[in-house]
């Protein structure tokens, strides 16, 4: 799942207009990275497009840090893989 | 902040509202800014022109979101421009005429709700709930709207298709897509920003808005050059270093903000070497929004039944918007019976438009005159009786005209078509594919309309400033 970490950091950096080094896992989306609601949606769409997953709307307000996005994405990717092998 | 070796800190390509807001804010913050515009005046789709005694707005003819906490007001305040451009609100901002009656959108929302509920009494619960959602929903709630269409959202509120049409008609006009195709995110944004808080107009003409921005850009030390078409963005080691103009002149800069058609950027202006093949393919596959056919009329003594000036009047003789859209796509304008018409605040001119496809320049050369006369007939018959006898000047802009003046791909009125699958397309986000390049304006697949591009222009400027502060 190293790939997920790298990809999420790159997506968040691109959307926020920051360098990847500045996007640490404990960075807070709103307070540290200036991610407003529109940018939050942009990130959600980018994650969905990149990983082919579906971010649930009720999960969005609970995402506070970059780490939260990574955790959620990892869960979603795992669910998707399980589905594929028919678990 | 200027670094030696470069002529400018930032070159902004395109003096549309997005680029002007971005450039003016950066100049205000002390950066050395040059705005390059291929046309001979600023504004893009927000310009005006004169014919004898008549002043016409070319495309955009009012804007929204200028209430106390509206986005447009916020941008003007951040630029130090609040009060610098005499902005008036026309009330009602919009009026919808449907076969069963008409409804106006007033500044006083309760009055609008009453009018709609009187026309559709069985739907009053849904009508009130939709207004409640539009006015009170938290921004994060609109996240849920990114993958549904406006039609899917409306189905949660209404049973009667007619009410849907009432709300979807101005969305078709301002978003160029019917409810079955437009994302609910964009559809509700149009209703909230354009319709519930619309009708603002810079005293005199829309041109005052870009002119005011240019004036302040210069006061803050920024420069602008017209008739300057950018052909190439120069990149070295993955980083922007300059632009080359049609004239072959090269201008060096550390940042480029692209406020123009993004297809042009990815297919012609950026050296291919710096682009991934998938990115180019993706951009090629994106669909632009429909264009418009615009009618401009200069009137002498106003006809007796002249509607109130400054109000956008939307007319549709039936309820099937999908049908209206299909006709617009086919370009049989004499059969597209829906349109928008607006009397200018000075009561001397009329602007009207219908959604229209690009077709070919030859098609428009052959059909323009006939379509113009058909259009006048329709307005005369349905909205302004007697209009025909009061016209002193008439002319029209076709989708090709829109393309020619702005280079917007296929004369697209609102950038990319805002369908759920195209909304927020990552390939065309603000941070460009090479270092130092930023995209802004209505081709970024997330916003359109004057308040939208103005807000994004400011946001793009802030991204660059953040970058600068880090480097220092
Ligand atoms: C008929 C019509 C009516 C509308 N009505 C309204 C309305 O009432 N209210 C509202 O809010 N919105 C309205 N809109 C939408 C609104 O006008 C646009 O969303 C907005 O103006 C877009 O601004 P922009 O800065 O993104 O781009 P544009 O206005 O398209 O500006 C892009 C600029 O870039 C320049 N350019 C392009 N290529 C180059 C190049 N290579 N080198 C140099 N310069 C270049 C162009 O000449 C142009 O000036 C309307 C649009 C249309 C078509």
Q: What is the pLDDT of residues B3-35, one digit of tens each?
A: 568 999 999 999 999 999 999 999 999 999 999
B37-57 pLDDT tens trace: 999 999 999 999 999 999 999
In short, whether B353's Cβ falls inside 6 Å of ligand 1 is yes
Pairing of strands B223-225, B200-202: unpaired
Tell me, what's the pLDDT at B32?
98
Query: What is the rounded CA–CA span in Å between residue B88 and residue B203?
Result: 7
3-class SS at A66?
helix
In B, minimum Cα distance to A58 occurs at: B144
Nearest CA to ligand 1 atom 10: B449
> Does B93 reach chain A within 8 Å, measured CB to CB?
no
Tell me, what's the pLDDT at B26?
98
> Does A18 reach chain B within 8 Å, measured CB to CB?
yes
* Cβ pair A46:B139 closer than 8 A: no
Q: Give the B window 163-192 contacts with A, CB below 8 Å.
A: 185
Tell me, what's the pLDDT at A57?
82
Peptide bond before residue B92 is cis, with ω within 30 degrees of 0: yes
- Determine which one of A31, A36, A59, A68 is catalytic: A36
Residues in chain B closer than 8 A to A16 (CB atoms): 463
Nearest CA to ligand 1 atom 41: B230
Nearest chain A CA: its distance from B462 CA (Å): 9
Residue labelled with tokens 């902040």: B1
Q: Give the B window 411-470 contacts with A, CB below 8 Å.
A: 423-424, 426, 429-431, 438, 446, 462-464, 466-467, 470
Query: What is the rounded CA–CA span in Å between residue B230 and residue B117?
Result: 52
Nearest CA to ligand 1 atom 9: B63
Percent of chain B with pLDDT over 70: 97
Residue range A5-17: mean pLDDT, rounded: 96
Tell me, what's the pLDDT at B143?
82
In short, whether B183's Cβ falls inside 6 Å of ligand 1 is no
Residue range A30-51: mean pLDDT, rounded: 91
Tell me, what's the pLDDT at B336?
62
Residue range B218-229: mean pLDDT, rounded: 98
What mean pLDDT is reported for chain B? 95
Tell me, what's the pLDDT at B20?
98
Residue range B433-455: mean pLDDT, rounded: 97
Torsion over CA: B118, B171, B331, B350 (sign): positive
Residue range A8-36: mean pLDDT, rounded: 93
Burial class (CB in 10 A: 0-12, 13-18, 19+), B33: buried
B238-247 pLDDT tens trace: 999 999 999 9
Residues in chain A closer than 8 A to B446 (CB atoms): 38, 42
B123-159 pLDDT tens trace: 999 999 999 999 998 777 788 898 899 999 999 999 9
Given a cut of 70, is residue A87 above it in pLDDT?
no
What mean pLDDT is reported for chain A? 91
Mutate to test the interface with A, among B141, B424, B433, B438 (most CBs of A within 10 A): B424
* Annotation marks residue A14 as catalytic: no
Higher model confidence: residue B125 or residue B469?
B125
Tell me, what's the pLDDT at B166?
97
Query: What is the rounded CA–CA span in Å between residue B61 and residue B310?
Result: 9
Domain annotation for chain B: domains and CATH numbers: 7-51+67-86+204-286+420-467 (3.50.50.60), 109-195 (no CATH), 290-406 (3.30.9)
Tell me, what's the pLDDT at B138?
79
How far, in Å, from the CA of B452 to the mean position of ligand 1?
A: 11
Residues in chain A closer than 8 A to B431 (CB atoms): 14-15, 17
B151-184 pLDDT tens trace: 999 999 999 999 999 999 999 999 999 999 999 9
B306-324 pLDDT tens trace: 999 999 999 999 999 998 8
Rounded to 5 degrees, φ, ψ at B354 are -130, 150
What separation in angstroms does the CA of A69 have from each of A74, A75, B420? Answer: 9, 10, 22
> Does B335 reach chain A within 8 Å, measured CB to CB?
no
Domain A2-85, architecture per CATH: Orthogonal Bundle (1.10)
B320-344 pLDDT tens trace: 999 889 888 886 666 668 899 999 9
Mutate to test the interface with B, among A8, A38, A43 (most CBs of B within 10 A): A38
For B202-241, the DSSP string reads ESS-TTHHHHHHHHHHHHTT-EEESS--EEEEEEETTEEE
Given a cut of 80, is residue A2 above it in pLDDT?
no
Residue range A19-32: mean pLDDT, rounded: 93
* Cβ pair B429:A14 closer than 8 A: yes
Residues in chain A closer than 8 A to B65 (CB atoms): none
> Does B276 reach chain A within 8 Å, measured CB to CB?
no
Tell me, what's the pLDDT at B328?
85
Residue range B342-356: mean pLDDT, rounded: 96
Residue range B291-316: mean pLDDT, rounded: 95
In short, whether B259's Cβ falls inside 6 Å of ligand 1 is yes
* Cβ pair A37:B463 closer than 8 A: no
Residue range B280-293: mean pLDDT, rounded: 97
**Do B287 and B311 contact (CB within 8 A), yes or no?**
no
> Does B255 reach chain A within 8 Å, measured CB to CB?
no
Contacts 24+ apart (CB under 8 A), B194-197: B194/B63, B194/B64, B194/B65, B194/B94, B194/B170, B194/B449, B195/B64, B195/B93, B195/B94, B195/B105, B195/B170, B196/B64, B196/B105, B196/B109, B196/B134, B196/B135, B197/B64, B197/B65, B197/B66, B197/B67, B197/B70
| ipTM of predicted complex | 0.90
> With left for phi above 0 and alpha for psi between -120 and 50, is residue B221 left, alpha or beta?
left
B192-218 pLDDT tens trace: 999 999 999 999 999 999 999 999 999
Taking the CB of residue B282, how many other CB atoms lie within 10 A of it? Answer: 15
pTM: 0.96
> Any residues with CB less than 8 A from the CB of B202 and at least 6 apart, and which?
B85, B86, B87, B208, B209, B212
Pairing of strands B250-258, B437-439: parallel
Nearest chain B CA: its distance from A50 CA (Å): 9
Tell me, what's the pLDDT at B140?
72
Residue range A30-54: mean pLDDT, rounded: 92
Residue range A67-86: mean pLDDT, rounded: 91
3-class SS at B79?
coil
Tell me, what's the pLDDT at B56?
98
In short, whether B450's Cβ falls inside 6 Å of ligand 1 is yes
Residues in chain B closer than 8 A to A38 (CB atoms): 139, 446
């Amino acid at each position: 799942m190293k790939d997920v970490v790298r990809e999420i950091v790159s997506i968040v950096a691109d959307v926020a207009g920051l360098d990847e080094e500045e996007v640490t896992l404990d960075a807070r989306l709103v307070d540290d990275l200036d991610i407003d609601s529109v940018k939050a949606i942009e990130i959600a769409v980018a994650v969905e497009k990149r990983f082919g997953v579906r971010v649930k709307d009720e999960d969005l307000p609970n995402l506070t840090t970059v780490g939260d996005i990574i955790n959620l994405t990892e869960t979603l990717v795992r669910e998707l893989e399980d589905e594929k092998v028919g678990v | 902040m200027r670094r030696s070796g470069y002529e400018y800190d930032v070159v902004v390509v395109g003096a549309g509202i997005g680029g002007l807001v971005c450039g003016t804010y950066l100049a205000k913050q002390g950066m050395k800014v040059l705005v390059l515009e291929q046309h001979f005046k600023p504004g893009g789709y927000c310009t005006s022109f004169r014919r004898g005694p008549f002043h016409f707005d070319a495309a955009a003819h009012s804007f929204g979101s200028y209430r106390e906490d509206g986005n447009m007001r916020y941008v003007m305040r951040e630029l130090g421009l609040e009060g610098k451009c005499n902005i008036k609100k026309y009330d009602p901002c919009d009026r919808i005429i449907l076969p069963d009656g008409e409804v106006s959108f007033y500044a006083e929302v309760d009055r609008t709700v009453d009018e709609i509920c009187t026309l559709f009494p069985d739907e009053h619960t849904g009508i009130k709930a939709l207004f409640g959602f539009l006015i009170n929903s938290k921004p994060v709630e609109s996240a849920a709207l990114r993958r549904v269409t406006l039609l899917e959202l409306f189905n949660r509120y209404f049973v009667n298709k007619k009410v849907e049409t009432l709300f979807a008609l101005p969305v078709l006009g301002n978003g160029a897509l019917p409810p079955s195709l437009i994302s609910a995110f964009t559809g509700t944004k149009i209703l909230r920003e354009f319709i519930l808080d619309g009708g603002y107009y810079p005293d005199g003409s829309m041109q005052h808005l870009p002119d005011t921005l240019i004036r302040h850009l210069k006061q803050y030390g920024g420069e602008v050059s017209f008739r300057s078409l950018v052909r190439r963005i120069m990149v070295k080691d993955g980083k922007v270093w300059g632009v080359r103009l049609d004239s072959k002149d090269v201008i060096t800069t550390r940042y480029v903000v692209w406020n123009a058609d993004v297809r042009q950027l990815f297919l012609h202006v950026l050296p291919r070497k710096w682009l991934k093949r998938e990115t180019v393919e993706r951009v090629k596959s994106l669909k632009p929004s429909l264009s418009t056919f615009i009618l401009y009329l200069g009137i002498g003594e106003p006809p007796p039944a002249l509607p109130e000036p400054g109000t956008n009047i939307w007319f549709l003789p039936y309820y099937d918007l999908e049908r209206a859209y299909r006709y617009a796509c086919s370009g049989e304008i004499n059969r597209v019976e829906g349109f928008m018409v607006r009397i200018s605040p000075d009561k001397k001119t009329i602007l009207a438009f219908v959604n229209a496809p690009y077709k070919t320049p030859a098609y428009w050369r052959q059909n323009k005159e006939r379509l113009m006369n058909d259009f006048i007939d329709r307005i005369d018959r349905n909205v302004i009786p007697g209009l025909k006898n009061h016209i002193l000047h008439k002319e029209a802009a076709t989708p090709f005209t829109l393309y020619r003046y702005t280079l917007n791909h296929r004369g697209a009125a609102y950038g990319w078509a805002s369908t759920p699958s195209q909304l927020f397309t990552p390939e065309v986000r603000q941070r460009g594919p090479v270092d130092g390049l930023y995209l802004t304006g209505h081709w970024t697949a997330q916003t359109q309309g004057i308040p939208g591009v103005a807000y994004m222009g400011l946001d793009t400027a802030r991204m660059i400033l953040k970058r600068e502060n880090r480097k220092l």
